[in-house]
Amino acid sequence: MAAVRRVVLIVIDSVGIGAMPDAADWGDAGANTLGNMARQRGGLPLPNLGRLGLGNLCAIEGTPPVDAPAGAYGRMAIFSHGKDTMTGHWEMVGIRPEAPFRTYPDGFPEDLIAEFCRRAGLEGVLGNKVASGTEIIKELGEEHLRTGWPIVYTSADSVFQVAAHEERFGLERLYEVCRIARDLLRPPHRVGRVIARPFVGTDRTNFTRTANRHDYALEPPRMLLDEVKDAGLSVLAVGKISDIFSGHGITYSVHTKSNADGIEKIHECLDRQEPGLIFANLVDFDMLYGHRRDVEGYARAMLEFDAALPAIMAKLGPEDVLVVTADHGNDPTYIGTDHTREYVPVLLYGEPIKPGVDVGTRASLADLGATVADLLGVPQTGFGESFADQIRK
C-alpha cells in the first residue's frame, strides 16, 4: 500500500470531549469541554466537524451524530500522568512517559529561586506562587515596574512562567532569563516548560499580555518528528509546536499570533506542496478562553475554526490526509482555571481514508503518532498502536 504524501495534523488546543474514568482523581469529575459548553449556551452548531464525525463522539447540542461521517473518527485517552500541553503533545508523537513532569503547588523552593536570580543577574523576583497569568500582572505589574523584578508564577501544570513588561524590562532580556531558567530546571526538577509571558500597559487597569509568548521545553527523546525528518520528508511546524519539541525533528517553523493567523499559516504550508507532515497547534481555545472560563469566547473560536475547515479540506491533494485532534481538555464551564482530564477527539479525512470508520476509544494519544508514521511510511517509535490498517482504503 503506497504511503500517504502529506499528513496535516491540527491540534485544536484543549478541545476535550468528556471526562476520562480517572477524572475525579484530578478534580475534574463531569468535565466535558465541548458538551458542557454547548449545553450552557443552548447549542453549538459545528456542521463541518460534525460531518467528520465529531457529534458521534459525545453529546454536543447543535452538532448531532451523523449516519455516515465523511471520515474516520474516534476518541483517545491520555495514557500519561498529566493533562497539559507537554504531556499531550509528547505522547502524541510516541514519547513513552517516564516520571511525570514536576509541579509546584506551593511555589518554587527558595534555593532554586535564589540560584535563578544569581545566574540571571536579578536582585529578586515577585510572586513565586500558583496564579492566573492575567490576574498576577494586575496584582504585581505595578510593583514590577517599580522594582524591575520579573514576576514568577506557576499553575497546576509543570510550568515556570516569567512575566515582564515587554518595553520596560525588554523582550530579549525576558527571553534571556527564561533560557537561564530552562537550563536550571532540568532533572531532578523536570519542569516541562519555561514560558516567557510579556505584557504591556501602564497600570493594573490596562496591563495586557502580548502575542510574543515563547515556550522553552525540555529536550525530547527520539520521536515521530525525528523519524519523518530523517526519512527525507518535511516537518512544517505551525504555532508553538517547535517550542514544545525544542526544535527537534522540524524542518520549518513559524510562530503564530492567533487562531486566525495559525489557519493562514496552515494554508501557506499547504501551498508549499512539500511531502511530509504539517503539524499545527491553534492555542486560542486554551489560552484565551479555556483558562479564563470564557464560554462565549471559546464557542466563537470553535465556530470560526469550523467555518475555516472547508477551505483547508479543499487544498488537500489525492494523497493527503487531514487529522483534527486535541491534547487535553479545558472545560470553560468548570470550576477553577486549570486544564481538565478528558478524552480528546481524533478525526481523519482525505481521499486515502475510508469514510465512516469508528476507530473506537484509543488507549493512548500515541496511537495517533503510530498511525501517522504508518501513513507516511516511516518507522514507529514503539509506543502506540497504529490503526492505519482500519482506515486506509
Instruction: Centre a 10 Å sphere on the Cβ of residue 266 and count the other Cβ atoms it contains.
Output: 25
Instruction: Centre a 10 Å sphere on the Cβ of residue 99 and count the other Cβ atoms it contains.
Output: 9
Which residues does the annotation place in the binding site?
13, 286, 291, 327-328, 339
Using one digit for the tens of pLDDT, what is the confidence trace for 66-118? 999 999 999 999 999 999 999 999 999 999 988 888 999 999 999 999 999 99
Instruction: Domain 110-217: give its CATH architecture.
Output: 2-Layer Sandwich (3.30)
Which residues does the annotation place in the binding site for Mn(2+)?
13, 286, 291, 327-328, 339
Residues 6+ apart with CB under 8 A from 296: 41
Q: How far apart are CA 159 and CA 63, in angstroms?
A: 35
Confidence check: pLDDT of 1 > 70: no
Percent of the chain clearing pLDDT 70 (strictly above)? 99
Give me the residue spans of the domains in the chain. Answer: 6-99+220-391, 110-217
CATH class of 6-99+220-391: alpha beta
* pTM for this prediction: 0.91
Residue 40, C-alpha cell as written in the block: 450552557
Using one digit for the tens of pLDDT, what is the confidence trace for 23-80? 999 999 999 999 999 999 999 999 999 999 999 999 999 999 999 999 999 999 999 9
Comparing C-alpha atoms, which of 316, 324, 376, 382 is closest to residue 348? Answer: 324
